[in-house]
Amino acid sequence: MGARGPVGAAGPAGAARAGAEGRADAKARLYDAFAVGGKALASGKRLELLDLLAQGERTVDSLARAAGLNLTTASAHLQTLKQAGFVTTRREGVRIHYRLAGDDVARLFALLRKVTETHRAAVTPARAAYLGADGAAELRREDLRVRVAAGDVVLLDVRPAEEYRAGHIPGALSIPVGELADRIGELPEGAEIVVYCRGEYCVLAHDAVRLLADRGRRAIRLHDGMLEWRLAELPVETAADPT
């Protein structure tokens, strides 16, 4: 038999180069796939939608109202999150319900906020401007569980009712912050009230504490909120929708 010719036009060296180029292309496709997730997170409104969905499943209409968006814009943002794999949907009649694709998405969202606050100086003043000062003490999750078990505090959830129904800290009362001024009489006189809302960056608990203090009530805040409570895998209760 005669000797074999070179592999391709350039021999083994050409095959090696082709292999290296193929691997580089594959690596580029891999990192481009990762970048789809990064691009999906590169919008304040999409992060706000993730924050809302971390509280539980919601319809497009509900998400649009809560985020202050029109339906078209909300739908476009949700489609971007869906294409990145961060949310999933189910249909109920003509309504589309969105939910997070998994607890890992909630963890990513929470980690993104904390890492950004740690390394970007602009976050701290922006947080202070948004949440405002209320002079309230804060209670850690571990201490809250002890005090609720002892029965020496009233735990108050001031998120919208649909979020409370989707999941709340066991033993919590539900009075949305927008209704608190009219319903403050439902809270026992003289009790210390621990207020919580969506999470560490949620303004609702701050607003509630300010209102309660103005009415002469003793109120403190949970250090974080429902997002962090869920991620810590602590007990969660749900409530039936009103009929």
pLDDT of 243? 46
Say whether 202 is catalytic: no
The Cα 72–Cα 76 span in angstroms is 6
pLDDT of residue 242: 59
The pTM assigned to this predicted structure is 0.88
Point out the catalytic residue in the list 197, 205, 208, 219: 197
Query: Among 13-17, 30-34, 103-107, which stretch is predicted with the lowest mean pLDDT?
Result: 13-17
More confident residue, 21 or 50: 50
Contacts for 172 with CB less than 8 Å, ≥ 6 apart: 155, 156, 157, 164, 196, 237
Higher pLDDT, residue 17 or 106:
106
Task: Check residue 154 and report its DSSP letter.
Answer: E
Q: How far apart are CA 52 and CA 232, in angstroms?
A: 18
List Cα–Cα distances, 195 to 90, 132, 207, 212, in angstroms.
33, 16, 10, 10
Mean pLDDT of 177-199: 96
